Amino acid sequence: MEKVSINGPLSGYRVLDLAGPLGLHCTKLLADMGADVIKVEPPCGDESRRIPPFKDDSPHPEKSLYFLHFNTNKRGITLDVTKPDGRAIFLELARKADVVIETARPRGMDGLGIGYEVLCAQHPGLVYASLTPFGQTGPWRDYKADNIAGLALGNLLYLAGEPGEPPLQPPGEIAYGMASTYGAFGIAVALYHRLESGRGQYIDVSMHECAAHIAGYFIPNYGYTGVKPARASRKGEETDLYDPYPTKNGYARIFIIPVEQWHRLVDWMGRPPSISGPEFEKMAYRRQHPEIVHKAISEFCMQHTKEELYDEGQKRRIAVTPINSAGEFIECPQTKAREIFVEMRHPVIGDYLQFGPVTRLSASPGAIFRTAPLLGEHNEEIYCGKLGFAKDDLVALRSVGVI
Amino acid sequence: MAKLPLEGIRVVELTTGAAGPTVARVLCEFGAEVIRCETRLRSDGHRGEDPKLWNKKPDFMKLQRGKKSFTVNMQTPKGRELVKELVKKSDVLVENFGLGILEKWGLDYPQLKELNPSCILIRVKGMGCTGPHAADLTYGPNVGNAMGTTYLWNYPGATTATAEPRTQHPDFMGGVTGAFGVVLALIQRKKTGRGQWIDSAQLEIGASLVGPKYLEYSVNHREPKPEGNRSLIAAPYGPYQCKGNDRWCVISVYTEDEWERFASLLEKSGLQRDERFATHFSRVRHTDALDKWVTSWTMQYDPYEVMETLQAIGVCAAVVQDVEDQFKRDRQYAATGFLVKMKEPEAGDVVTEGVPIRLSETPGKVRGLAPLMGEHTHEIAKTLLGLSDEEIKKLDEEKVLY
């Protein structure tokens, strides 16, 4: 059996991962920090293998770049837990695991005879996390929700996009991401508690509630003031706080909050008379006169490249950043200096840059050490090496579609 | 009452903004005692500049609820000495000031380790603590600019730079990820007895969720473009306009079974099926016509009617809620008690988001209001730092505990 020793705080913990897209980032966070995450796929392959983009746009189950990103560091086995033999094997695996994660509909796992009560009865130390759209209780618990549905209910979608146009989904699945992150935090807390008590527990994560935590301060604001924000145009109706300004080569954003930052900006611009009056020092006043402010700052920015504005603005302690493309982010000096991307090789996709661990602990940093598993890649290693099956057994189990 | 899992863990917070406070807030909900160090000389942006409003800010409530406020002037040697004493008696230090400030105060990791080798330090920065841009001044939205999501968050072919909303999701995602990192370090400390420090970059946390976009660049050698609400794996997909002013409901149909139920429903309401919509493949190829067909149905109904009707037949649908809907029409939040109401002495009734995860043995909770400025200064000075009433009086007069 493969032994990989990773210096991460979760080294030595084993995680059984039955999660769909909602929980992929959760088990990735755990795997990057050293946990041995075993991804349990149905014999036809996980649904995330069908999610684009694909290498060369070719929709092959081993070429999904989405699958590649979120499943690095995990080992992969195939198992049909709906079949009696599959269920028995899963129970055996769960006896030897520390954490089980699933994203089935509420009580879906109970229906298969592998729910929390069954697994906890055979192994009271087990930490079991259910990540679902609405949690295990409440009137909407059986409703379906994908990432965009989570963002819709969480108010984030309503605020994005131009007035008069449809609300606009963000790039990246941030409702899934927040649910996954909160799930990973809950699992870490439960493992910490287990070090003292020896007992595991059940964790119920609601994407719907996690999504409400992403949107900002609108819930407490509404509770105080009853004010209901609408979609705000990016065409200059908001000034200086959020506006992107055109430059010689794309856009830069200048983000001004305290008054000294405004002073620095106006000094840098050579104190143009149109915005140098003392009344412009007040953010409220600037917002009442967006056309003047936007025009002056835009004229200034158009004389520079976004990189020049970035370097000089930051030198002057003003929160300027270039609006980068994905490629510009990969190529920028900060990304390179911090080695955010790690060079990896996948047997089908070839050489690629894998996103590294985001939780950078100085003494136990974790690592990227394995590319995403091929379908059933670790069947033999785990079924024979760990559960004591013979190779003939695997042939028999394969013939009836259990693995 | 059940013991909270992080009870006994003391966190000192030297922060401003949102991401750092969120790390400590999440730890607080699971039992950590959080001591927020702040000063009247330069109030936090979320308290605001006006002392009369310091205790009345809703964003401050969200970020600081359940914590203690210890006012201390870090510009004085005595103030820094007191905070060092606090750190000696604590398990975690959370900071997110500009790079260099913690060093100046003598609390960066090499110095902290000398004071308290079992203490865990988390430094929450937009760009991280290393690299040529470590000292950048950044707010939440700047991070999205740098990592490419501002550019990508747009309609296909858009002429403006972005359509992203006024939210700072890297702040909140970064905060929860940071809390995860701290608990991992606590787990590691159980094994080794030693602390460590965490270099937490909002840039990387936010960017890790758009990983497939970067692979488009590094594997397929092309720049991903804004895709708007397009999907190749679901059709219908995205927000559909409903009855009312700016009312929308998102609908996602992934499988042929879901489509059959959806199409039958629309047919029963009098709409004619179109052969171009017979298969997923064909629907994706005729998205514009499909969207028009679906909208002709959704426009007749309130978005909640659309959601409930479709969910009743097992089709994913969700209202594009505004904040008022979250308070008044979201039956799920109402049933689970997610919106927590509290009474604030100065601001009155306040509402904040609850804990979105439920641990069966060790559940977290919203433990209280945000502290008033300096509410716990004397209590902490006396009980934790062991200062006498006279010493405290003197430090008050010298504006050290200020």
The encoded tokens of residue A47 equal: 């649904």
**Residues of B in Cβ contact (< 8 Å) with A168:** 153-155, 163, 228-229
**Residues present in chain B in total:** 402
Closest alpha carbon to B249 in B299, B317, B198:
B317
Element containing residue A36 per DSSP (H, E): strand A36-41
Task: Give CA–CA dist B186/B90, Å, rounded.
Answer: 12
Task: Give CA–CA dist B392/B401, Å, rounded.
Answer: 8
pTM greater than 0.80 (yes/no): yes
Q: Kindly indicate the confidence band of residue A258, based on its pLDDT and cuts at 50, 70 and 90.
A: confident
**pLDDT for res B170:** 83
**pLDDT for res B157:** 86
Task: Give CA–CA dist B141/B341, Å, rounded.
Answer: 29
B56 or B210: which carries more pLDDT confidence?
Answer: B210
pLDDT for residue A3 is more than 70: no
Task: Give CA–CA dist A381/A375, Å, rounded.
Answer: 13
Closest alpha carbon to A134 in B188, B58, B330, B285:
B330
**pLDDT for res B2:** 66
User: If you measure CA to CA, which chain B residue comes closest to A246?
Assistant: B161
The reply to whether residue A334 touches residue B132, judged by beta carbons under 8 angstroms, is yes
Q: What is the ipTM of this complex?
A: 0.97
Asked if A394 reaches chain B (Cβ–Cβ under 8 Å), the answer is no
With left for phi above 0 and alpha for psi between -120 and 50, is residue A295 left, alpha or beta? alpha
Residue range B377-386: average pLDDT? Answer: 97
Q: Are strands B237-241 and B248-252 parallel, antiparallel or unpaired?
A: antiparallel
Residues whose CB falls within 8 Å of the CB of residue B264, separated by 6 or more in sequence, listed in order: none
**Residues of A in Cβ contact (< 8 Å) with B177:** 29, 181, 185, 358-359
pLDDT for A22-49, tens place per residue? 999 999 999 999 999 999 999 999 999 9
pLDDT for B275-309, tens place per residue? 999 999 999 999 999 999 999 999 999 999 999 99
Residues whose CB falls within 8 Å of the CB of residue B83, separated by 6 or more in sequence, listed in order: B12, B14, B37, B72, B74, B105, B107
Residues whose CB falls within 8 Å of the CB of residue A144, separated by 6 or more in sequence, listed in order: A133, B252, B311, B314, B315, B316
**pLDDT for res A330:** 97
**pLDDT for res A167:** 94
Residue range A116-145: average pLDDT? Answer: 97
**pLDDT for res A376:** 96
**pLDDT for res A242:** 65
Calculate the average pLDDT of chain A: 93
Burial class of residue A400, CB neighbours in 10 A (0-12, 13-18, 19+): exposed
pLDDT for A324-348, tens place per residue? 999 999 999 999 999 999 999 999 9
**pLDDT for res A2:** 43
pLDDT for residue A4 is more than 80: no
Residue range A286-297: average pLDDT? Answer: 88
pLDDT for residue B108 is more than 60: yes
The reply to whether residue A330 touches residue B214, judged by beta carbons under 8 angstroms, is yes
pLDDT for residue A135 is more than 60: yes
Q: Kindly indicate the confidence band of residue B153, based on its pLDDT and cuts at 50, 70 and 90.
A: very high
Task: Give CA–CA dist B270/B152, Å, rounded.
Answer: 39
The encoded tokens of residue B77 equal: 């040697």
Task: Give CA–CA dist B225/B355, Å, rounded.
Answer: 36
If you ran DSSP here, which 8-state letter would residue A37 be given?
E
SS3 sequence, A79-106?
CCCCCHHHHHHHHHHHHCCCEEEECCCC
DSSP string for residues in B128-139: -SSSTTTT----
Angle at B356 between CA A154 and CA A96, to 5 degrees: 125
**Residues of A in Cβ contact (< 8 Å) with B184:** 9-10, 33, 188, 359, 361, 364
**pLDDT for res A236:** 44
The reply to whether residue A146 touches residue B229, judged by beta carbons under 8 angstroms, is no
**Residues of B in Cβ contact (< 8 Å) with A330:** 214, 217-218
Chains A, B: CB contacts within 8 A come to 478
Q: Kindly indicate the confidence band of residue B3, based on its pLDDT and cuts at 50, 70 and 90.
A: confident
A16 bridge partner residues:
A38, A100
pLDDT for A165-209, tens place per residue? 899 999 999 999 999 999 999 999 999 999 999 999 999 999 999
The reply to whether residue A219 touches residue B352, judged by beta carbons under 8 angstroms, is yes
The encoded tokens of residue B361 equal: 């043995």
Sole residue written with tokens 């029409």: B329
Q: How far is CA B381 from CA B87, B90, B137, B401, in A?
A: 13, 14, 33, 9
pLDDT for B80-100, tens place per residue? 999 999 999 999 999 999 899
- Decide if A302 contacts A246 (C-beta within 8 A): yes
Residues whose CB falls within 8 Å of the CB of residue A191, separated by 6 or more in sequence, listed in order: A10, A13, A98, A99, A127, B187
**pLDDT for res A40:** 98
Residue range B52-78: average pLDDT? Answer: 93
pLDDT for residue B1 is more than 80: no
Strands (E), B143-196: none
